Amino acid sequence: MNAPTTCAAEGNSTEIVRDPGQRAVFCGLTGIVWLHRKIEDAFFLVVGSRTCAHLIQSAAGVMIFAEPRFATAILGERDLAGMADANEELDRVVARLLERRPEIRTLFLVGSCPSEVIKLDLAKAAQRLSRDHVGRTRVLSYSGSGIETTFTQGEDACLASIVHELPVAEVGAEPELLVVGALADVVEDQFARLFEQLGIPVQFLPSRRVVLDTPVGPNTKVLLAQPFLTDTLAALEKRGARHIAAPFPLGAEGTEGWLRAPAQAFGVDPARLEDTIALPRARARRALERYRPALGGRRIAFFPDSQLEPALARFLSRELGMRVGEIGTPYCNRRIMGPELELLGESTVHEGCDVERQLDRVRASRPDLTVCGLGLANPLEAEGLATKWSIELVFSPIQGFEQAGDLAELFARPLGRRERLAV
Amino acid sequence: MELTLWTYEGPPHIGAMRIATAMRDTHLVLHAPQGDTYADLLFTMIERRDARPPVTYTTFQARDLGSDTAELFKNAARQAVERHRPALLLVGASCTAELLQDDPGGLAKTLGLNVPVLPLELPAYQKKEDWGAAETLYRLVRGLHRPVAPEDRAPKTCNILGPCALGFRHRDDVAEVRAILAQLGIAVNVVAPEGASPADIARIGEASFNVVLYPEIADTAADWLERTHKQPRTRTVPIGVGATRDFIAEVAALAGVDPAPALALESQCRMPWYSRSIDSTYLTGKRVFIFGDATHAVAAARVARDEFGFEVVGLGTYSRTHARAVRAAAKEYGLEALVTDDYLEVEEAIRAAQPEMVLGTQMERHVAKRLGMACAVISAPAHVQDYPARRSPQMGFEGANVLWDSWVHPLTMGLEEHLLAMFREDSEFHDAAGPSHLGKATVAAPANDEPKTEPDGAPCWDADAEAELKKIPFFVRGKARRNTEAFAAERGAASITLDTLYEAKAHYGR
């Protein structure tokens, strides 16, 4: 295996080390678990193996029984024997599915490792099926495979597939803000109110209904609400949209920076911005104060998981006084992450992972808190290391002023629990 | 292609992981794409293991496809041996790697590792988790086994085969069975795979017979040992009082000892008395639907009928490999076995049978919750709450006590049921209050109680009859409605009157 390679990120003092090796991460299929809650009229059909079905079942936990809008078309031996057969089989499965669930407006065919290795052309299948079910259901496709995507990159691939389908904005259309990245409904509503107070016309992608009618064009200004949207941003830029660089809306400072960037881009009067954010920002700071004693000075390390890690590290170090050790992230887009890395200052970001070697480093440095996946958390606890399981950070509402305190609490809780327990 | 939402079993490499995780000094290298490490959390979260499963994945990505994946595999195998220093290396592929041209077994052999390598074939597109576990155990036994002539085997010794990682109550079942064997003066040579090292597996031939606890996991290996090495095996799975007695007799015969000391353990079993005590009379003829792996389903049916006095109204399994045993058992209860891994089919069968209780897996628990029925979990797949901290075997006499408590608990207790009938319209016991253990969410659950438009030709309910139906306790009302409608339809009645209701009641009994 290759040795780690190092390069300094452009224009700031954060060092980025690339670690090749065994990775302990989810694949992009996992994104379905939260995306299907967000996009209410969509269904996600994975074309894959029993492993894929088993993964989603394990990740979705009890949710699997609340009439979920996802399923797996499990490839059998017959499907592997010949391509044409597999396409016919897929058509049959989709027809049966749409018969049973006529309310589905958008169907995502989600590629997996097996479907990609046998080169089943899901893009072509989506086109064919869109024609077959025209007027009722749009069929899109994207890859959530482990060989292509890591965890939250599944959302990126999904949103990019939506962008390709969005209508073209009229020439000379008024500038409009497009906030991209699935947010909890409560967070989306808070942000919508703030943008309204700022007088910025805003759309969200994905919206609760995947009405594929948000026009995109040179008038579109893109603000990413999540850091893992490389391909979606590229697809939007290809359509002429412009990216507004900003830190991510985690914590009081992050949220302020995230609102300030579009306010500037839309020429909002600074006094109006100050009026809008003064109260919620003060509330957020007050909420954070409560957790400073518990978290200040404590050392934290991150295993790679969601690409949220650099932004979380920035929030925890700058707003709560934590000392940040190693920051693992599955992928670090220098441009998107630029504002975060600048705020983060002198740190080391490890891109990719060699899980055994990172475990060695964590065991040697023994941080006060280790952010990691569920496969590592209990084993590390058993070794006496406090952990915070990372997947919760993707499922919980953590963005915005009103959630800043909740976000801090997620990290304070495992430490508080260890102090509390007398057994 | 098969449209699937829930799957009762994972792919076969999960079965291989269950064996490797159960063992000591053994490491599994899986040729698998990035993402397949999700399976680790089944062991660290559901079973709450305190160490990572001994599994190294190659975690190849798209950019590695081509010639590099073989190299990745070799590196992963080499590094796994260096770091973990196992006594045995298992190698295999997950579903995606099965599609690549790399041959993990062949590649591992060329590496000249200073540790024995056992390649596994795990056909992911034909087989499932239990098969993968059985096959892995069989390969291990076959590959490491040191033959011992029957006359040279230690008398009154056995192996315990089957308990493994993520097994439903395996931990406590082993303790129970060990206690029985100890009482009989039978020594345990090796327990495998749970807790066994490769060296232990090699010693399996030294025992005079095998105790097979979980046929789904251990049949293949035990049958091979019986066939090829004349090492006999047990056939009875000691779940329930009767089966435990039979098991003791079988084991005692195989070891040539007197069964009496172990049978005496029954004096500590409260279950037979509890079942005979008058508070349990109300359990008589309770209609129960049973679904799970073949072993637990068959065992539960016997316990339900012979030891609880229930009526078994449905019996099925998702284990196709062991379906024969379930079909045979079902025939004995006058039923057609339901063999399927489609949970929608199971839900349909439950709905049609209208049982008062469901014994099943995690999934049947959800179905029963939705249908407002009582339910207890008897088989994997199960969630974290069914890997409990307290001792809770299913096997042996203590296991029978556990079955008693866990099956009876979800049912409305006898006295409570009596009160419900007496104070039917009382504000605390009215229909919509629902059974207390099901919580408020199920208030509207028994949807089939509501008056509904009848399909063409089906008899309509008179208002009087409908009102009378509502006076029947909700947990048997579904059955009453069904029986009455069937009765009316059979007689070509256009409408259901009060008389029809009571005629049907007289016809069918309770």
The 3-class secondary structure across A19-74, one letter per residue, is: ECCCCCCCEHHHHHHHHHHHCCCEEEEEEECHHHHHHHHHHHHHHHHCCCCEEEEE
Chain A residues 146-185 with a CB less than 8 Å from chain B = 146-148, 150
Chain A residues 304-343 with a CB less than 8 Å from chain B = none
Question: Chain-centre distance of CA A160, in angstroms?
Answer: 13
Classify B3 as helix, strand or coil: strand
Chain A, nearest residue to B37 by Cα: A24
Is residue B279 part of the annotated active site? The answer reads: yes
Per-residue pLDDT at A1 exceeds 60: no
The reported pTM is 0.90
> What does the pLDDT read at residue B7?
92
> What does the pLDDT read at residue A66?
61
Q: Chain A closest CA to B95's CA: distance in Å?
A: 7
Residue of B8, B95, B166 to mutate when probing chain A, most A C-beta within 10 A: B95
> What does the pLDDT read at residue B136?
98
Per-residue pLDDT at A12 exceeds 90: no
**A82–B contact, CB cutoff 8 A:** no
Low-confidence ranges of chain B (pLDDT < 70): 412-415, 417-458, 475, 510
Check B125 against A80: CB less than 8 A apart: yes
> What does the pLDDT read at residue B5?
85
Residue of A18, A22, A385 to mutate when probing chain B, most B C-beta within 10 A: A22
Considering only the beta carbons, identify the residue of A77, A147, A375 that sits closest to B60: A147
Residue written as token pair 């007695």: B245
Q: Chain B closest CA to A148's CA: distance in Å?
A: 6
Whether the CB-CB separation of A203 and A180 falls below 8 Å is answered with no
ipTM: 0.93
User: For A326-361, b where at least 16 C-beta lie within 10 A, e where not — what string?
Assistant: bbbbbbbbeebbbbbbebbeebebbbbbbbbbbbee
Ramachandran region, residue A239 (left: φ > 0; alpha: ψ -120 to 50; beta: rest): alpha
> What does the pLDDT read at residue B450?
43
For residues A194 and A277, what is the distance between their CA atoms, to the nearest angstrom? Answer: 8
Chain A residues in contact with B59 (beta carbon < 8 A): 22-23, 146
Q: Per-residue confidence at A263, pLDDT binned at 50, 70, 90?
A: very high
For residues A44 and A110, what is the distance between their CA atoms, to the nearest angstrom? Answer: 7
What's the distance, Cα to Cα, between the start and end of chain B in Å? 45
Select from A52, A44, A50, A280 the least CA-distant residue to A147: A52
> What does the pLDDT read at residue B267?
95
> What does the pLDDT read at residue A30?
95
Considering only the beta carbons, identify the residue of A65, A72, A374 that sits closest to B41: A374
**CB-based contacts of B182, cutoff 8 Å, min separation 6:** none
User: Cα dist. A157→A154, A160, A399, B46, B212 in Å?
Assistant: 5, 5, 22, 30, 48
